[in-house]
A and B are shown apart, each in its own frame.
Chain A
Amino acid sequence: MKQPKKVKNVILKTGFYFILLMIFIYLLFPFYWAINSSLKSEAQLQMTPATMVPRDPATNSISPYLSNYKVIFQNQQFVRGLMNSTIVATSTTVLALVAGSFAAFALGKLRFRGKKPTLYMILAMTMFPQVTVLAGLYAVITTLQLPAITSMILSYMIFTLPFTTWVLTAFFKDLPLALLESAQVDGATPFQTFYKILLPLTAPAMVTTGLLAFIAAWNEYLFALTFTSIDPGARTVPVAIAYFTGAVARQEPFGEIMAAAVVVTVPIVVLVLVFQKRIVAGLTAGAVKG
């Protein structure tokens, strides 16, 4: 009786880890390929067949090429871009989360007239392709005479704020009302209710939305390209990468681009490592209520 169950468990476990392994390979292999490419010189990239690790074209021995990394860290604009991107993406995320969670609390938990139109209006802001609104946006930025960094933060609201608002609304809506009501009976203001009860309960949603919004802002290219064109000091990482050039015009420094891709992904990985625990923390906070 006990034996088959154990066997079944082993099979299930093996199956589970096999699936996990497949998921890892699927998600990470292309990134591995980027690392691989970032360690190759132009000649190594042009080798046929492509090699799984950087190899010397003549001797076929393993020989990683580190120049790509050296070059990008000597590129002032790229290093500066890392800082600019951090500023822009962080401010965007904070602003989108604050404004978004306020709005989402109203939309998810309070009764008021005109809720549906408000929801759809907010969503509608993000339904145009970026390039369509670019010209109008550029006119607004020029009229308001905003500096490049501020223009990026504000214009990124177009795609982050509707996102945070909608996601948080969906999560707020499902929160148990009993807690809120008891808080109200205790004489807490809606703001207190929001900070003391709602926020800890919704930590997983907040962290998730925040991470996704942060990455979206971190990766944005078209707006940043346009708004920083006249102010090279404000360029973000994707723009700085677009300005990478080879030794001569037309040459595309593919190895350097890949090196930059790897370097730029690291801060995000760190960020996720720090915050992924909060997703679980939210769970525990939810358990307290019981």
Chain B
Amino acid sequence: MRTNKMRWLTLLLVIMLMVGLLAGCGGTEDPAPEEPAEPAEPAEPAEPSEPAAGDVSITVAAGAVGQELELTQAAAERFMDENPGVIVNVLDTPDLAQDRLGLYLQFFEAQSSEVDVYQIDVIWPGDLAEHFVDLNEYGAGDVIDEHFPAIVENNTVDGKLVAIPWFTDAGLLYYRTDMLEKYDFEPPTTWDELEEQAAAIQEGERADGNPDFVVFVWQGDSYEGLTCDALEWISSNDGGNIISPDRMITINNPKAIEIVDQAAGWVGTISPTGVTGFGEEDARAVWQGGNAAFMRNWPYAYSLSQGADSAVAGNFDVSPLPAGDSGAGAATLGGWQLAVSKYSENPEVAAEVALFMANYDNQKIRAVEGSMNPTIMALYEDDEVLEASPFFGSLYDVFINAVARPSTATAPNYNAVSTAFFRSVHSVLTGDTDATTAFEELELDLQDITGFDIE
């Protein structure tokens, strides 16, 4: 009799607990177990606006940054005004590219239809191509020629347009106009020139009693950012593109070795030893604190450096990155695209939304209000855009000549390729090895990863 009672008691307890928890309840902060059953309350957070019968609901996964998100939401509103019967939800995603990718992969693995349109990094179209529809089949062909050809090529995988370019990014050289004036230099156009100027400025500033001054900062940590920086050095020195578009491994060549060894020489001389742990924000912190004369960074640092509390406001400018033996500087292409999920329940509408958000008018609003760099070439001659961000005009040449990372050629192994590359370059920068040895090994690693031939 008693055992029976106990059995029921146990069962009841477990059920009560489960029910309580399933209702997502809580409230008391008392971890004492005397009161295991909690009052159930319907605490489920409000769902994003449910579509009325007959409506189509589209979810766009996009950047979470304050203004960026607002601009995207505003564009969604405009789309809904023009297209009654469609509801566009904007889902914010983490700003950290890696976290964002991790999240997307969970959706793809579950073949989830929750998200219809994804904001993807310029290096993802190749690796993620299989999860997206071909936008050419949804009317992108009419507008695609307006965009920068390098990005379009990057987003085209085996003839399929995986994503529509949305906004772009490329590496720039930031320099201090007051410093160059003080030491009577012109902005450097070659790496050698930059080295010379940097050495002179460093000596002068240290003598002036600024022990924190480090001259040249860039992204030297072991991460994707180093792939961007190193690709700029190598490409500007005629050293190829790591892996060529026709799928040959080209990295182990004298030009590439020469420039990477040269860059390794900067560490601990014109750049701090800590630069091998720097990301974009570390470089910006040193620069904006007034402790560097040169910085390699993306356009985002421009408006921040002009900010009211910036130590360098009004005393800097940007130029294309210096050149090596090729005679021209190279800038690595960055930026974000919009892609439509294959698992979407309404790919036609989703594609419409994606193309709408990336069209001339919407990119213009983003450029004017959020100084985000458009991917439509004509916008760099648009008066309103130029008025809002005068430095956009000088960026056109940088963007049109930007170098894409070999993400499409190496798909779906770009991440492994890039990791092998930046770890190899990093080991040269830290002095663990020299570029000759490192690239000999890297070449074999890349062959293992991709199965391509070595040139």
Contact = CB atoms under 8 A, between A and B. Distances in A.
Direct contact of A and B (CB under 8 A): yes
Contact of B304 (A48, A147, A247): A247
Contact of B91 (A147, A232, A271): A232
Interface in A152-172: 153-154
Contact of B110 (A46, A142, A231, A274): A142
A207 interface: yes
B21 A249 contact: no
Contacts of A91: 20-21, 25-26, 38
A246 interface: yes
Interface string B401-417: 00000000000000000
A128 interface: no
B66 A245 contact: yes
B64 A243 contact: yes
Interface string A207-221: 100110110000000
Contacts of B352: none
A149 interface: yes
Grouping DSSP codes into helix (H, G, I), strand (E, B) and loop, the A interface class, with mixed when no group exceeds half, is helix
Given A90-B28, A248-B68, A250-B298, A138 B106 contact: yes
B33 A101 contact: yes
B65 A57 contact: no
Contact of B43 (A149, A245, A252): A149
A195 B35 CA distance: 11
Interface in B296-338: 298, 300, 303-304, 307, 309-311
Residue from B38, B66, B298 with most neighbouring chain A CB atoms (10 Å): B66
A131 B287 CA distance: 36
Given A94-B36, A199-B33, A250-B95, 5 more contacts: A87-B25, A154-B21, A229-B91, A233-B46, A234-B45
Contacts of B2: 189
Interface stretch (A11-19, A37-45, A114-122): A37-45
Contacts of B291: 48
A252 B281 contact: yes
Nearest 5 interchain pairs by C-beta: A233-B45, A210-B31, A46-B289, A87-B26, A43-B309
A40 to B, nearest CB: 11
Given A191-B6, A249-B65, A98 B29 contact: no
Interface residues of B, number: 67
A86 interface: yes
Residue from B9, B25, B114 with most neighbouring chain A CB atoms (10 Å): B25
B99 interface: yes
Interface string B17-44: 1001110111111011110101000011
A206 interface: yes
Interface residues of A, number: 66
A242 B96 contact: yes
A226 interface: yes
A57 B308 CA distance: 13
B94 interface: yes
B274 to A, nearest CB: 13
B156 interface: no
Given A46-B285, A87-B26, A211-B31, A98 B36 contact: yes
A49 B34 CA distance: 54
B281 A147 contact: no
Interface of B: 2, 6, 9, 13, 17, 20-22, 24-29, 31-34, 36, 38, 43-48, 63-68, 91-96, 99, 102-103, 106-107, 109-110, 112, 114-115, 212, 280-281, 284-286, 288-289, 291, 298, 300, 303-304, 307, 309-311, 370-371
B45 to A, nearest CB: 3
A210 B370 CA distance: 47
A146 B291 CA distance: 52
A99 B112 CA distance: 33
A232 B92 contact: yes
Contacts of B96: 242
B110 A138 contact: yes
Interface string A176-220: 000000000000010100010001000000110011011000000
A135 interface: yes
Given A98-B33, A232-B92, A242-B99, A250 B27 contact: no
Interface string A77-98: 0001000101110110111011
Contact of B29 (A86, A95, A242): A86
Nearest to A143: B110
Contacts of A57: 309, 311
A177 to B, nearest CB: 21
